[in-house]
Chain A
C-alpha cells in the first residue's frame, strides 16, 4: 500500500509550475549544500573575480595567456598529453575489459583485483615507485645493458605513470557496459556466415561504443587536471596546465594570472563534463569506480 502510495505520489505532473517546495526530508540536504557553497563555491567565485581584477581590472590575464606562445604551448601540451593518455588507456583497457567478460569467474576475479589494487593505493606512493623504477639509476636501467635510457622527466615517463592511474577508471565502466552486451548476437552473426572478425567489428564493437566513449571522456577530462604525476615524472618541456598554475603562484605570486589559468581549465573541464553527462549517468560512473 505504501509502495503504491510511494510510486503514485512522485509521479511527476506533466506541467510543473515554479519550484517544488522543500519538505522535511529535503531539509537534510541543506547542511551539505551550505557547506559546499562556503568551502567550494565561494572560493571558486573568488578565483573567477580575481582573474578579472588582479593586478588591475580587465581581461589582461586572459590576453597575456592567449598572446604568449609559451603559455599556449602548455595548453597544447596539456591536451596532447591527455589525448595520448586516453588513447593508450583505451588500447590497453578495451581488450582487458573484453577479456574480463570472457574469463571464468576465477580469472575475472583476478583481473578485477589487478584493477582495484592500484585504485586503492596512494597516488603519491605509486608515482614515487615509478620514479624509482624509471630514473637513470632506476630498476629498468639497472637491468638493461648499455647507457641509461631516459625514461623520466619526459613524455614517456608521464604517459607510463598517468596511464597506470587512469586504467582502472576506464576498465570499470567499460567492463560494466560490455557485460551487458548479449554475446549470442556474435554467435548469431557467425551462424549467418559472418567471419568472426567481421562479426566483432560490425556487431559487438558498435554496441560497446557508448561505454567506451564514456570511459574515454572520463579519462580525458581527469587527465587535463593532473598535477602530481606530471610534476614528478615529466620534464620542463612537457609542463601541464596544473603545474603552470602552481608555478605562477608559488614562484612568482601572479595571483590574477594563476586564477585566469584555473578559470580556463575549469571551463574546458566543465564543458566536456556537460557533454559527457548527456552520454552517461555520471554518478553511476563514479559510483562504480572509487
Chain B
C-alpha cells in the first residue's frame, strides 16, 4: 500500500472513531425527550402512544413543584453569595499581598477537588448538630462552597488580562477608588463575572450528592426528588423533568453564546449606541 493511501485510511478511521465518540457524547441524553412523551409508565422506546401525562403529573404534584421552587431559591441565593465572595477573593488573589498564598489557592480550589461524597458526609455531620439540615440556609452554605471556585477562576482570569492603566486613567480624570471600580473595573470584567454567575447557578441547580445528605421532608431540591425517582423504581415523571432541564440548559447556553456573538459584532462593526 502506498504511503498516501495508508495515510488516507488512517485519517478515515480516525474520523469515523471521532464521529462515533461524538455521537456517544451527545445523542444518549436526547433520548429522554421522546420518551418523556410516552403514554406508558414503562417509558418504552419508541413510544407506542404519545401524551403529556408526565408533564401534567409534574405540575400537579405538590412535592415536585415545591422541590423545583426550592432549587430555584437555592440557586439564586447561591449565585449571589458565590459572585460576591468569589469576585472579592479573585480581586484579592490577583492584586493583593497576603500570607500563605499557595495554601489559600489550594483552599479555594478544594471544593472542586474533594469528592462530593466526602463533603456531603462532613457537612451533614456538622449541620445535623447545628440544625441546618433540611433548611434553605444549609443548602445555600454548601452549594456556595461548591460553586465559588468557578467564579474565582473566571473572574481572576479576567482580572489577569485587565489593563490596570484604565484605573490610573480613571483616577487621573478625577474618579476615586470606589467610582473607579464601579464605573471602569466592574463593567470591563462584567462578562466574566456573569459567566461565573451562570457556572455558580448551574452548579447549585444540578447538585445531587451533597443535597441527598442534607434533604428531607422539610426541604428538598429538584435533583434530590429526581434521585429518589430513579434510585429504586423509575418514576416516569423524571423523564419529563429531565427533558425540561435539558431544554432550559441548552437555551441558557444558546443565549450566552448569542450574547457573546452580539458583543463581538457590536465591538467590530459600526453599530451606533445612544451616547448620553
**A262 with B145: CB separation less than 8 A:** no
Question: How far apart are A94's CB and chain B's nearest CB, in angstroms?
Answer: 10
Return chain A residues, CB-CB under 8 Å to B123.
Answer: 39-40, 43
**A121 with B97: CB separation less than 8 A:** no
A226 CA / B17 CA spacing, docked (Å) = 27
Residue of A23, A27, A96, A195 touching B18 (CB-CB under 8 A):
A96
**A43 with B125: CB separation less than 8 A:** yes
Residue-wise, chain A 272-283 has the 8 Å CB interface mask toward B (1 for contact) of: 010000000011
Any B CB within 8 A of the CB of A17: no
Return chain A residues, CB-CB under 8 Å to B202.
Answer: 120
Return chain B residues, CB-CB under 8 Å to A128.
Answer: 32, 226, 230, 238-239, 242
| Chain A 65-94 interface residues, beta-carbon cutoff 8 Å to B | 92-93
Any B CB within 8 A of the CB of A124: yes
Any B CB within 8 A of the CB of A239: no
Any A CB within 8 A of the CB of B14: yes
Return chain B residues, CB-CB under 8 Å to A259.
Answer: 121, 125
- Chain A at the B interface: SS class: helix
Residue of A20, A98, A142, A265 touching B45 (CB-CB under 8 A):
A142
**With A132-B32, A133-B28 in contact, do A124 and B107 touch (Cβ < 8 Å)?**
no
Interface segment, one of B60-68, B149-157, B182-190, B261-269? B149-157
**With A96-B17, A133-B28 in contact, do A33 and B107 touch (Cβ < 8 Å)?**
yes
Any A CB within 8 A of the CB of B260: no
- How many residue pairs link A and B with beta carbons under 8 A? The number is 271
Any B CB within 8 A of the CB of A106: no
Give the number of chain A interface residues (Cβ < 8 Å).
90
A35 CA / B242 CA spacing, docked (Å) = 33
Give the number of chain B interface residues (Cβ < 8 Å).
95
For residue A263, which residue of chain B has the nearest CB? B118
Return chain B residues, CB-CB under 8 Å to A21.
Answer: 97, 99
Any B CB within 8 A of the CB of A95: yes
**A6 with B249: CB separation less than 8 A:** no
Chain B positions near chain A (C-beta within 8 angstroms): 3, 6-7, 10-11, 14-15, 17-18, 21-26, 28-32, 35, 42-45, 85-86, 88-89, 91-93, 95-101, 104-105, 107-119, 121-126, 141-142, 144-145, 148-150, 152-154, 157, 164-165, 168, 199, 202, 205-206, 208-209, 212, 223, 226-227, 230-231, 234, 238-239, 242, 245-246, 249-250, 253
The 8 closest A-B pairs by CB, nearest first: A225-B115, A25-B96, A26-B96, A28-B92, A26-B98, A29-B92, A43-B122, A114-B22
Q: List 26 A-B contacts (CB under 8 A).
A: A19-B100, A29-B92, A29-B93, A30-B92, A31-B88, A33-B89, A33-B107, A35-B144, A40-B107, A40-B145, A41-B107, A95-B17, A111-B22, A114-B26, A118-B25, A124-B208, A128-B32, A131-B234, A132-B35, A227-B115, A231-B231, A232-B231, A242-B115, A262-B121, A265-B118, A287-B153
